[in-house]
Each structure stands twice: as structure tokens, then as C-alpha cells.
Amino acid sequence: MLHRALWSVLVVAFLSVGSRAQELPPLDGSIEVATSAFVVEYLVQKPAAMEPNAWLPVLVLLPGRSVDAATTEARMRDVGADAARAGFVVLAPICGGGVAKLGGVVVGQGGEAPLATSLPKLLAQVRKDYRVAQGSFHVAVCDDFGEIAELLAVHRHEFQTFTAIGDGQDAMRTKLRKLPARRVHVLPDGDAAARQRHFDTLRAEREFAGAAADVARTLDDFHDAAAKGDEDRYFAILPDDAVFLGTDLSERWTGASFRAYAMPYFQRAEAWTYFPLQRHITMEPGDTVAWFDEVIANSGYGECRGTGVLVKRGERWVLRQYDLTIPIPNDLAGGVTQRIRAFAEGKAPAVTTIVVVRHAEKVDASTDAALSDAGRARAETLAKALRDLPITAAYATEFQRTQGTIAPLCAQRSLAPTVLPAADGTALARKLQRAHLGQTVLVCGHSNTVPALCKALGVPGEVKVADDEFDRLFVITLGPDGASVLPLRY
């Protein structure tokens, strides 16, 4: 069990550090989360004037990896007070007793990292005990972000926003770089005014006024009912005459037919869980009809979009339509749509093959040098090496050496090479992906443009071409599941 040795003073700090903390109600005890090797306690700080059964934002406040416990403790104290004054329920772990360092980055007894194993259980417990506004959490980390970033990345679908305070900005950007920028915030340490504005803004930008607030709470209730397997509450919001559109083209349900279909799911502790991350609501004149769109996250599907219409019946808001979709980034749309088409036709999805080579040896170091004798011989070798590939198009830069390298192959196949400026690597990558779906294409570039093109095409890892390497050849395969590369020499 984790004792209060290192963090017991945090309780006193929340209660007694000047007028700022005294504005808040006393700590509301703690939540104990048991893992196989630990019991981790999370202190609970509620905001002032909290109404019973209110929908409130919840902030999980975590310590970073710091060797200076006193400094981190002071930061957590101040950050927690600022967030509570902004209207957040704040949860902060008590770690100590020599079993594990702050942040759970040192493995304790039994092979567990306390925060890593307790955090998901904490979130599940809080969803049962509190009415969490928009159904998902906020998180802030004080001090060095460290390995906490990896933990939060795993649970990113449960958090609306991520805030790093102090020395964690670089790690936040690196570890969570794949998250939309709207969800990631970094704050310098020691600027209390900026911190207070930040939490005030986080809350304000997710709240609605008037009838729109009632619509938002209905949507929160809708998702909460599914997460808790509450069939009656869920279908009171999605009545029999509503329409539910699922992610599959065949999924158009009435509320009644969807209830019959979903019955087995509601026999479980939770039917399904989506965490709202962002929401927009538009009210019709008279405040009896509302249009909405929201970004919701799921552990399996990632970020999805829900759109629809609610109407007011008596004193209740109910859904008339809910449409669940999985947004596709524009750069992936071509691959996804061709995979869908192939699936519908019972065929294997098309695969694009792009052969990328560096130009052959040149006669001198001038800007537009021609090929040397060795370079012309290598160009002939390239044509022979690729003779069995069904190449339908070829690209070169504006320089003689790249055009000369692919000239023998183009002559054999009566291909007119397309010449594009060497600097337009990103434009070339887009053209290859969109204009040559399912084809095999040859591209000749330079020692610096070949790696850049591979990266733009989505090749994992780093591709390098040395200045004295003229025999490098990369076979890139673009399929529905991304890019793969086979590096060769010829």
C-alpha cells in the first residue's frame, strides 16, 4: 500500500496555503484504487458552491518525474487550487512510502507502476461517482512530463485536453504530437495568472447557455447511459420514432429497431463507451429544435463524429436523428475508398508500387551536370534491373542527370517522362498517390530529395542516401494499410 509519507503535506497544502486555498471547500476525502500490488489514493478537491448532481468538468492532476518532491508538491497545490476555482473537480494521487517515485516511472513491488495501473480504474470509478461534463476528462501534469506521456497517450480517448506545466512542454509535444492541436496545451511554470486564465477558458469554451445547455446535458446523458448500460435512460433519449445511422452504409435504424438490435449490449455493465471531446450546438428560433455536431472518441475506433437533431417534447429533449461516422483524413481518402470498392466487389484492394532511385554518376560537380561514362552504364543497368516490372509512368527532376538515368528505360517502353522541379517533393507524393492508384511508377531524384519523397509517401523510419551512393533503389508499396519499403542496390 502506498502511504502518505511523501504527499501527506499535500492535504494540508490544499487546506491552508493562504486565501486562495481557503476560498475552496475542504478536501472531499479520497478515492482509493486497488491494483494487484498497490492501493493508490487520489485526493478529491471540489469547486466552491457545487450543486448536487451537477455536470462538472473533471481534471486529473498528475505529478511528473521530478527529484524535487517539494517543488512538484507546491506546483500541484497551486494548479489544483486554480482548477477548482475555475469550477473543476480535481483529483490528485498521493504517492510515497518509498515504494514508487512520482509518476509511477519506477516499478514498485509486484512489478507494477502505480499510476499506470490505477489510472484507468480511477477514470472508470469517477464516471460512476460523478456526472462528468461531456463525459470525458481533462489532465494536467506538473513538472517533467517524462514517461507519463506514454501513459496518457494510451488513454488519450478519455481526455478532452492535455496540459503540461513546467518542464514538460517538449515531452508533451513529442509524445502527444499525433493528437489534434486543439487538445494539447503547454504553460510555463510560475505564471499563476496565465494558469488561472487557462482553466477558466477550458471550462468556458465547453459550456453552453440557455436551451443549448439543456441540449448539451441531454447528449451527455445519452453517452453516459450507454457507458453504464442503462437501456431505459438511453432509449428515453432515442425514442422509437428516432433514426440512428451507424458507421456501416446498411445501418439505418429506427429507435425501436435499434433497441431490439442493441439489447444484448445493454445486458452488460456497459453497452459501449464514447467520450465526447468537442461539441457545437445550433438552436432554431423558438428553442424547440437543435442541430449538433460533436467529436467523440472510442478506444477501438479512435475519434469519430456524431451529428444529428434534437427536438423538445414537453419538458424533455429527445433525439430525432443521430448519425455516427468515422472521419477520413483527405490524404488517406483515396486508399480507404479503393479498399471499400474492392471489398464491395470481392476483390483485393489495389496496391501502388513506386520505384525510387537516385541519379547515376555525373561528369562533374556543376549544377546541371550530365552523366559520366559510369553514369550512362549505370542507367543501362537500371533499365535491365527493372525490365520485368510493369512500369507505366516515370518522373524525373529538371536536371540532366535524373532524366539521363531513366532515359534507357523510357526508350525501351516508349514512355515520355514527366519532369517536375526537385523542390516539389510533397506535390509529387500527392500526384503519385492520386493519379497512379494500382500502377507501378519510376521516380528518379537526388540524395536529398529521395529521402524526402520517401517520408512524404509515408515510409516508416528514416531513409538515408550518402553523397557517394549511386546504386540505391527503394521499392515503395502503397496499400490501404499504409506504406512499406524494400531498400535494394542495383
313 and 439 together in one domain: no
pLDDT at 357: 97
Residue 459 domain-assigned? yes
Shortest CA distance to 453 belongs to which of 431, 481, 480?
A: 431
How far is C-alpha 224 from the chain's CA centre? 22
Question: Residue 414: its pLDDT value, please?
Answer: 94
pLDDT digits (tens, 9 = 90+) for 380-438: 999 999 999 999 999 999 999 999 999 999 999 999 999 999 888 888 998 898 889 88
Q: Give the pLDDT score at 484.
A: 92
Read off the pLDDT band of 99 (50, 70, 90). Answer: very low
Does position 324 have pLDDT exceeding 50, yes or no?
yes
Q: Which residue among 204, 235, 270 closes a domain?
A: 204
What band does 105 get if pLDDT is binned at 50, 70 and 90?
very low
pLDDT at 187: 81
**Do 288 and 433 lie in a common domain?**
no
Clarify whether residues 38 and 145 are in a common domain.
yes
- Binned at pLDDT 50, 70 and 90, residue 134 comes out as confident
Does residue 171 register a pLDDT over 90? no
Within this chain, do residues 165 and 31 fall inside the same structural domain, yes or no?
yes
* Distance of alpha carbon 181 from alpha carbon 172, whole angstroms: 11
Same domain, 414 and 352: yes
Asked if 199 and 82 count as a contact pair (C-beta separation under 8 A), the reply is yes
Supply the pLDDT for residue 341.
83
Stated pTM of the model: 0.68
Query: Percentage helix, strand, coil, to 5, in the chain?
Result: 40, 25, 35
CATH number where 150 lies: 3.40.50.1820
Strand order in the sheet with 418-419: 418-419, 391-396, 440-445, 352-358, 472-479, 482-489
103-117, 145-159, 310-324: range with highest mean pLDDT: 310-324
Is there a single domain that holds both residue 38 and residue 139?
yes
d(CA 74, CA 12): 11
Q: In this model, does residue 93 exceed pLDDT 60?
A: yes
- What percent of the chain stands above pLDDT 90? 49
pLDDT of residue 92: 85
User: Which structural domain, as residue segments, surrounds residue 224?
Assistant: 211-325
* Residue 3 in domain: no
d(CA 144, CA 67): 10
Q: Are residues 200 and 229 in the same domain?
A: no
Q: Count how many domains the chain has.
A: 3
- CA–CA gap between residue 449 and residue 428 (Å, rounded): 11
163 with 16, same domain? yes
Residue 69 pLDDT: 57
3-state class (DSSP) for residue 23:
coil
* 57 domain-assigned: yes
CA 203 to chain CA centroid, nearest Å: 21
Q: Which among 144, 177, 204 is the end of a domain?
A: 204
The pLDDT value given to residue 163? 87
Q: Which one of 291, 325, 359 terminates a domain? A: 325
CA 190 vs CA 22, 35, 80, 102, 193: distances in Å: 20, 35, 14, 20, 9
Residues 415 and 394 in one domain: yes
Mean pLDDT of 327-347: 81
Is 421 within a domain?
Answer: yes
Looking at the fold, whether 186 and 239 belong to one and the same domain comes out as no
Residue 357 resides in a domain:
yes
CATH of the domain at 286: 3.10.450.50
Q: What is the pLDDT of residues 440-458, one digit of tens each?
A: 999 999 999 999 999 999 9
Does some domain include residue 1? no
Whether the per-residue pLDDT at 65 is higher than 60: the answer is no
The burial of 180, by beta-carbon neighbours within 10 Å (0-12 exposed, 13-18 middle, 19 or more buried), is given as exposed
Region 260-269 average pLDDT: 93
Q: Are residues 312 and 179 in the same domain?
A: no
Q: Specify if 34 maps to a domain.
A: yes
Asked whether the beta carbons of 105 and 95 are under 8 A apart, the reply is no
d(C-alpha 26, C-alpha 47), whole Å = 10
pLDDT, tens digit, for every residue of 271-296? Answer: 899 999 999 999 999 999 999 999 99
Mean pLDDT of 56-84: 76
pLDDT of residue 405: 98
Same domain for 172 and 235, yes or no, is no
Q: Would you say residue 2 lies in a domain? A: no
Q: Average pLDDT over the chain, rounded to whole?
A: 84
Q: HSE on the CB side for 51, CA within 13 Å?
A: 3
pLDDT at 439: 93
Q: Quote the cell numbers at residue 257.
A: 429497431
Given a cut of 80, whether residue 64 has pLDDT beyond it is no
